[in-house]
Structure 1
Amino acid sequence: MFIINHIKISFLFVLIYSLNAQEINTTKETELFSLKAELKNAITENDSINIGLTNIKLADFFNSISLFKEATHYYQEYLGLHLPKDSSFVKVQNQLALINLELKQYRLAEQHALQALSTSEHINYKKGEATSNALLGSVSEKRSNYNEALKFQEKSLSLFSLLKDSTGIAITNENIGSIYEDLEQYQKALNYFNIANRFAKNSPWDLKINILNNIGDINRKTKKYNDAIRFTEQALESAKSANNQSQLVSALKDLSRTYADMGNFEEAYKYLNNQYIANEEELIQNNNEIVSALQILHDVKENENKVQLLNKQNEINKVQQSIALITTSTIFLALLALFLYWKKRRKHEKHILEYKQQLLQADLDKKAAKEIALNREIDIKVSSLTNYSLHIAHKNKMLSDISKTLSKLKNRNSELVSKKLKDIVKDIEADLENNNEWTELMSYFGQIHPNFFSTLKQIVNDKLSSSEMRLCMLLRLNLSSKEIADILHITPDSVRIARYRLRKKLPLESKDDLQDYLLNLQLD
């Protein structure tokens, strides 16, 4: 019943989003047509300044619908005009840095941010300088150069403070807090997140929600669970109000983790289940947004091609009329006119072929979007598998603790109670040896890494036992020795010995790390 209801909800979500997307697409198409017409007029008038500004508007338009390739094209078109290096030049360089940072092209992001910073300092453009420093700090953080990242972010913070830019101050404080969170200096991180929260009152919703989620997560990591729940629930409600699926998923995930850390697994499971539903809705929304953006681009190109075809058709009609007049004069002129007509017709057919190729490219882009969606679905399954593994670890540890406690009690009571306690211990230990969960876990693992065990069997020096195969699977899931010990119901020393014996059966050098080798094992 839950699955059927969930399918109905997903269908309604897609239906409502599709109706809204149709209205949005119409508006976006109109805006894009207007901008392209504006660019055409500027080119016709040879007005380089308006050409540059319109290229920036077109780039900003495509950036807003996440078509980064098209956005980058128009930003580069602006840079190719070699206009004076003013605040617009700084904005374009910072936007290109932000796009490349989003695409994890850190070298390019750094180059554009440095060019923006140099120009900002030269023309004394403080806001551009502040933004460039913040971007360079983010690049350094992604590269794990935390000291350098802090240096850039602190420079950015001082500039935004000088400008009294509350949103800039909030963003930079959040960036610094994230760096200290990566360094596991949680109190410092919390202080910066709290400052960011104070300055973000009039900032965009996305920023405010992200800051609340960060504050909640820091409180969870420092075991202040009530504060963690309070801030994360605020982020959850704000995400619902702003219809921000990404932040909604993040808030649900953090609430699930917090309740799990508190030992309230019923609430943790409820929020984890809600996160799974929100993940699916986010996936649907993201897919629809990608398809809508591609549809807008496709429709505009199609309409442009139709106009071109119509113009070509008018030209052909004019040529045909000319041919009719020329043929009444002389045969020579008629043959010449026919030759010109054939040449133009061939050119027209070439344009039709190019149009068909553009349609094919648009179809390929849609398929690429579907592939991205499938990769996201795989990521969700990997997350589910890891959560299931940790669930087994927790369950085994809990049963083991109960078994030890009952074993201690059995000699302190009467003979009847002692016998009863022995039976309970026996049942619990039998449950711990139950392999059904291992079968289910290995089934999940096989769906995600179907060729892992077959590849492993081909490269080992000696046949692996079933327990060694389980150890390989858990190492592939990137679990620690303590987590593996809990799952296998053995001591950490036993895990260390098992790892040592496993190394001998694998083609490893003495300096090679066993877990890194299994994580990077190439599957056929």
Structure 2
Amino acid sequence: MNLCKSFLFLLLLFFCGDGYAQSSPNKLLQKGWAELVKDNETEAFKHFWEANEKATKDKNVKDKADALFYLGICSYGSSLEKGLQFATQALDQYKKLEKTQSEEAKIGRYKCLQLISTIYSRQKKYEDAKRLSLEVVDELKDKKDSTGTLGLAYNSLGGLYELENDSETAEQYFKLALLEFEKWNNLAYLPTTYLKFGEMAKQKNQQEKSLNYFQKALELAENTQNKQAQVYALIALGKWYLNFENNFIVAENYFDKARIIAIPLTDKLFEIKTIEGLIELKKKQNDFQKVSQLQEEVIKIKDSFYSFEREQIVKSLEVQFEVSEKNRKLELISKEQEVSKLTNYLLITLLALLILVFTILYFFLQRINKRDKQLLKTKEELVSLMEEQKHLKEQQFQNDIEHKESQLSAVTIQMIEKNEILDEIKNIISKKTPNSEVELKKLVSKYTIQDNNWRDFDHYFESVNKNFYTRLKQKYPDISANDLKICALIKLNLSIKEMASILNISPDSVKTARHRLRKKLQLNTEENLTDFILSV
């Protein structure tokens, strides 16, 4: 029974031979496998986890499934639960490939099932392990399987039936496994199978046959540099010489060689197996002091081994954290680069827009400036024209005034002439000559023509002195028509004598009329009538 358990554990150690990872095109998986072969599980786990993270980011289901599968292989040696978790996750990922990559999905599924079967064996769930391995065999036995999964399933079933003491069935499965491994030249698995056949021959007391199998396993392990297989082959040879020939020296030599190889290995169970072989040897030599010493070493190694298992779990978690942090930082850097790129693009775009805006604004301002200059020039021309027009209007106004003043002067002269005619009439009447009547008719006729002179005078006077009469009447309602005539003549700045001649009255009457006008205008004695009238 103990031999069977040892075989199952040995099978577990060689589970993921070079048929898997070496065939993968994924560089990270290849690196991880290279480290795992060297028994450098921490570095192997790191590469497998990086492959998993990258596949997740790239949404590559196939690579993610493979990475999870290898994480399961890498993890179950230190934590069965962790290995089982990764294996079931890989199984889910392979299921997603059924529609697109059906063959890859099937192969992946059976690899995962065999890995889970191996883990169940270590958990002593033998029935579940047998069920899974049988399913793998049923599906792959009639197919070409270069991965070694079918041979591993045969080996697992052989070990499980051996635990049930069904040596005949177990031997059949071991033979099938050997044929499968030899067929595909799976050198990583052959040493394990040869060791098993050596154990079975040994139990049957077939000494020579068992020795040949052990030697063959050692030779193949040395050729493939499989140190774990070398350890088990050396232990098997040591026990063979101890049990069959009682050759303590040769047996101890094999155990010592095995221990030298086992000490550097990460998995200390190999070293424990070598020490257990030495304990068995020392018991036969009755060297119980050495037995006690070796047993204490086993206890220490087991304690350190369990501590190592815990450390491996912690390391795997640390690796997951470190890889996650690394990926997070890479994502942050990538985002920063994207943000920087986008910022640069926006700045360039903004700069181009600003240049475009300033160019448009420049031409727009140039156009406005040109327009303003044109408007200013037009405005200046307009102002010049307006000034010229104003000047012309003023000139015309001045000409009109001069014309009206000349007409007013003419009317005034006509009025003076009228008075002179009247004086002539008086003289004719006073003479009473025979031609007086004829002369009077001529003078009256002439007077009739000139009687309209006052109306013409008022017209021309009002055109020169707008609303002069109206302003006086509004301010002094009691003023008479004769008073207005006096005011008009004063406005023309005529002398009293000229005024008397126009009005056909004496100068004294003019003075009297001016005196009455002063009263009506309510002027003080010190106020000048002429100045007042001129100011109206």
- Tell me the TM-score normalised to structure 1 length: 0.47
- Tell me the TM-score normalised to structure 2 length: 0.46
Structure whose alpha-carbon radius of gyration is higher: 2
